Amino acid sequence: MKIVIAITGASGSIYAQRLLECLNSETHHDLSIVISKNAKDIIKQELPDGIKIPAKANLFSDDDLLAPFASGSNPPDSMVIIPCSMGTLGRIAHGLSDTLILRTADVVLKERKKLILVPRESPLNIIHLENMIILARAGAVILPACPAFYNQPKSIIELIDTTISRVLDHIGITNNLVKRWQNHPPAQQK
């Protein structure tokens, strides 16, 4: 499977790092990474050791519009933008494609491949919500970085894994990062 991971300038670089760690163990995938200019600044603040790029991954500059997956003749199977800034989300929703991240998202949508956007923003204004609706109608998966607590996570990584597990599910990669929700018998009435 060809997978493109894009990291944009929203807070939440640790989500991207954890996804890359999980994909690094999946040796049979063709992994490409694109990091926006603003993301580089955020990464410096949030990850003092920087982002760790898997050895098998191909790293592309966001201004490299000649990257192989920037063409509809060679689209990736999946693209995940994690974290996805509201600026990036809005530009994709309105068809702008002047960077590699934006062009690849455009290609993924037009070729009916899997585009997963992981916004990490709060609160959301009406423009954010309308842009999300536009993208959902176009076929994108809007998967906010909203961790779950039913597994009673004991660390930040366990908390982040509740979101990363869902991202991997939507890419189509089986994972055991979190305990899955189980049906419970109904409570006994007294």
Kindly report the backbone phi and psi dihedral angles of residue 62, in degrees, each rounded to the nearest multiple of 5, phi listed first. -70, -15
Grade residue 151 by pLDDT with cuts at 50, 70 and 90. confident
In a domain, 186, yes or no: no
Provide the domain count of the chain: 1
Which CATH number characterizes residue 36's domain?
3.40.50.1950
- Of all residues in the chain, what percent carry a pLDDT higher than 70? 95
Tell me which amino acid residue 80 is: V
DSSP string, 38-61: HHHHHHHHH-TT-----TTPEEEE
Collapse the DSSP code of 158 into the 3-class scheme (helix H, G, I; strand E, B; otherwise coil) and give the result. Answer: helix
Establish if 185 belongs to a structural domain.
Answer: no
Q: Is residue 189 part of a domain?
A: no
Instruction: Return d(Cα 103, Cα 92) in angstroms, integer.
Output: 8
Residue 181 belongs to some domain of the structure: no
The pair phi, psi for residue 159, each rounded to 5°, is: -70, -45
Rounded to an integer, what distance in angstroms lies between the CA atom of residue 60 and that of residue 128?
Answer: 28
pLDDT of 185: 65
Instruction: Give residue 40's domain range.
Output: 2-171
Q: Is residue 188 part of a domain?
A: no
Flag whether 153 is in a domain.
yes
Q: Does residue 177 lie within any of the structural domains?
A: no
Model confidence, pTM:
0.94
C-alpha span between 47 and 122 (Å, rounded): 21
156-167 pLDDT tens trace: 999 999 999 999
Q: Is residue 45 part of a domain?
A: yes
Give me the pLDDT at residue 150, please.
87
